[in-house]
Structure 1
């Protein structure tokens, strides 16, 4: 029985599969099986994997039960022999020591359930993705990863080594109206799973116009805000105490409305714009920063100001006022 099962869904990836498969074969850690799952390809992707599998008995070609990355991932998860699942996409490239370094961390820190790594962006399309990768790579320690869960996806999915029993206990991958990988991370963190990250760059993560994060509305702001509200509204402290939102711009307004739809009390907003102070937004009053940390002090604070540098400013102010990251303060953007 292998120590690691590599899960690689693919669809119409004949152009990139040879490099991805070669990077798996080049791993210095050799006790693995590769489960390559065909998500109803219409090109020769399955043929590429079939030819590769003919030269390596550790490789198995599977057919997804239905269309989509969730079904493909679940298909592989059902037949995976190992307790640890390594996720990889068919257009990415794992560095030779990826599995070795992640396996070493899993053995040295047995309390971890998910282990990511540093990533490099291949063929970035614009500065936004490069900034995102730099931010993700800055999150290394478990507390930093957990506290950043509502800002963006804090761990690159195809860089992950995951404990199969933890994935199953959290309900596995789900068909949801937002990003399925971020949804899984949020459920794992909600259940108490601990995330870690090997700081070295161990995955080449390819950017392209066809990536789901660029082409599928489930990965956009509208559904990301619904996802944030869904999981925030499940937190006992928020259900019991309500929230106060720092930032009365588009993100703060949207989150307030989504939380109210889920029965959460929005006690108020803090805002720097003088024309908004004294107004009401979705029925909740707006106060100035002179009352920050004093008014609505029993509520959980959400940092929702999207201007550059505002996240760090709000976090600093919240800490100075006695709020605790990951307890009664959450940054959302």
Structure 2
């Protein structure tokens, strides 16, 4: 009968009002080159035809459909799906994205070859309103460093060992009912007990929505992320003032709009972070230094200022010597600086 032998990978796909995209997402999993899978669809009381669409796939013995009795949010649905998972690995998937055919094979191969890594992800190719490639830090120390600023993995492409749930009791915080920070909060806790690394290749096509739709989402997500970052900094062990926390949160997400924060303040804080890490060894020092140096470049690059001259400020500070921007990035920085001073 159905699901006779345990699969190697359990894919958990929460669903809420995704009828327009759901079939494409489901089929991208069922058509994976890696065949030892189960797909657990968790409908969170959708008010459209999502549940009916999901049930249309139940004839496939690899598919299991669960339906929440009431709308409980993304975290609850992830946990509920995990309770029914039988695979050695658990893969995440969103109802509006499309997994590349080799995604699961690549992730199983990677985790099998790297026993010290408990959770992994990959890069994402955006489609819809954007066509950029979302890249992430690759090594465990790069991930730990970047984690202090923002989400260091592509959540819709995450794959982790089920032992994380069994040995460490990790669960998504289902008090976070919106999809605003539950992934970052989970990864922040996972990083304290297992190694996290990313594969430097695109494994997922990520659907992007119009900016008008995303504005409220980003504001709510950043508010939750600010709380998570404060806890991470406390775990990092670095002392900080309310002003320094404000600086840190401001330069942690695009577009790094400084407002009344000076570039000098930013550099002072970032240098303090790397100096603290030199003493405490939270992450490998070279990885942390590269991370904060890149953050310094991005902050200066995204905050052109006619009076301060952000290009000069960038170049005169110590961190500029520890990150090498691409030729294209630096060329655009030079052009922006020139135009700003001559208009």
Do these two structures clear the TM 0.5 threshold for a shared fold by scoring above it?
yes
Query: For residues 249 and 272 of structure 1, do their structure 2 counterparts lie closer, same or farther at Cα, with a shift above 3 Å needed?
Result: farther
1:207 match = 208
Query: For residues 143 and 170 of structure 1, do their structure 2 counterparts lie closer, same or farther at Cα, with a shift above 3 Å needed?
Result: farther
Deviation string, structure 1 residues 29-75 (Cα, Å, up to 9, x no partner): 00000000001101111111111222x11000001354200111011
Q: How does 1:117-136 map to 2 (within 5 A)?
A: 117-124=122-129, 130=132, 133-134=133-134
Higher relative strand content? 1
Query: For residues 231 and 138 of structure 1, do their structure 2 counterparts lie closer, same or farther at Cα, with a shift above 3 Å needed?
Result: closer
Superposed displacement of residue 213, structure 1: 6.4
Query: For residues 188 and 292 of structure 1, do their structure 2 counterparts lie closer, same or farther at Cα, with a shift above 3 Å needed?
Result: closer
2:137 aligned with 1:139:
yes
1:63 match = 67
CA distance in 1 between counterparts of 2:92 and 2:98 reads: 12
Query: For residues 272 and 30 of structure 1, do their structure 2 counterparts lie closer, same or farther at Cα, with a shift above 3 Å needed?
Result: closer
1:9 match = 14
CA distance in 2 between counterparts of 1:203 and 1:92 reads: 7
1:325 match = none
Query: For residues 144 and 253 of structure 1, do their structure 2 counterparts lie closer, same or farther at Cα, with a shift above 3 Å needed?
Result: closer
Query: For residues 253 and 63 of structure 1, do their structure 2 counterparts lie closer, same or farther at Cα, with a shift above 3 Å needed?
Result: closer
1:251 match = 247
Corresponding residue pairs, total: 279
Q: Which runs of 5+ in 1 are unaligned?
A: 256-269, 277-285, 321-333
Superposed displacement of residue 318, structure 1: 10
CA RMSD of aligned residues (A): 4.1
Secondary structure of 2:95's aligned partner: coil
Contact 1:10 1:41 in 2 (8 A): yes
Secondary structure of 2:42's aligned partner: strand
1:47 match = 52
Q: How does 1:147-158 map to 2 (within 5 A)?
A: 147-158=145-156
Deviation string, structure 1 residues 277-307 (Cα, Å, up to 9, x no partner): xxxxxxxxx989999999xx98999968644
Superposed displacement of residue 14, structure 1: 1.0
TM-score of the aligned structures, taking structure 2 as reference length: 0.69
TM-score of the aligned structures, taking structure 1 as reference length: 0.70
Superposed displacement of residue 250, structure 1: 4.9
1:165 match = 163
Query: For residues 59 and 147 of structure 1, do their structure 2 counterparts lie closer, same or farther at Cα, with a shift above 3 Å needed?
Result: same
